[in-house]
A and B are shown apart, each in its own frame.
Chain A
Amino acid sequence: MYKIVGADSRVYGPVPAEQIQKWIAEGRANAQTQTLAEGAPAWKPLSSLPEFAQYFTAQVPPIAPISQPISPLAASGVRKISGWALAGLLFGLLSILMVCCCPCLFSVPGLIFSLIGLSQISNHPHLYEGRSMAIAGLALSIVGFVLGIILIIVSLLHGNLHYHSNFNVFNP
């Protein structure tokens, strides 16, 4: 007989193994579902119980080897890529690419997202990864911001200098 914690954080059971199998098939329990087997000392994820492990072998991704565990906790589980770091990197890239049309528009959110990502990764190194993404996002955002400021200042100084075709030396 087993007890499990449902998605609503309530305890269900005790029920026999066949019932747990049915719940897995119906999507009511998954590999991460906390389970207490009768007589067992502690709650465990359902997939760690040998009698149920077979139902998850196809769904559970192989745990990627972590080359340099930052803390002992990091070795126990897979770290998630920080969503903030990813957003910071994307906005940093956009801040460079879009510097001509919308100077500084993407740099500010890129800067903020990268910094949030960096602090998230620093504070929870065992939960999040993506430090290089956050640093690259930060660098790109800063470069994009500086280029944008330069472009705005030069445009303001030459406000009356509108482009006409013979100004272009390459494509007259």
Chain B
Amino acid sequence: MTSAGSQAVPPRIKSTSPLTLFTGAVLAFIIGCGLVFIYFFNPSTHGFYPVCLFHQLTGLNCPGCGATRALYAMVHGHVLTALHDNALFILSLAGGTIWGAHFLLQKRKNPAARLHLSTKFVWAYLAVAILFSILRNLPAFSFLSP
């Protein structure tokens, strides 16, 4: 450790490292590009989107079926259509956004805050996802299917 002398002033402590900022910028850029792309290309009329193997094989809807159509409806502001296409996906998206925003707010107050995801929550979420996949394939709950 070198001494900076008695008159020197220490630099300000940066709360976020440049690497974190760079990763955040790259992520935001990729997500932005994806949203712009899906805004202009409707998954219902364009065939280059990934096809669900499970749906092709069985005709049943998997938990992710309708997610791209839901995102298309969402970026066009049709919230109800989006919820009809894939409610699980849209609600998860909303929950994830709130989770991320809550973390960023905490991080501003306390730079030592860390992102946390409880294992119990993951198991509960998985159970909801499985229940959702079963229900959306039953005639009585066909409103959950795209």
Contacts and interface: CB of A to CB of B under 8 A. Distances in A.
A103 B55 CA distance: 13
Given A132-B119, A170-B137, A59 B110 contact: yes
Contacts of B37: none
Interface in A40-96: 59-61, 80-81, 83, 86, 89-90, 93, 96
A167 B60 CA distance: 9
A51 B130 CA distance: 56
B64 A6 contact: no
**Which of under 10, 10 to 19, 20 to 34, or 35 or more describes the interface residues of B?**
35 or more
Contacts of B117: 86, 89-90, 133
Nearest to B112: A61
A136 B2 CA distance: 46
B34 interface: no
Interface residues of A, number: 55
Contacts of A132: 119
Nearest to B130: A96
Of A33, A81, A97, most buried by chain B (CB within 10 Å of CB) is A97
Interface of B: 1-4, 6, 8-14, 50-60, 62-65, 67, 109-110, 112-117, 119, 122-123, 125-126, 129, 137-139, 142, 145
Nearest 5 Cβ contacts at the A-B interface: A6-B10, A168-B59, A100-B62, A100-B54, A10-B4
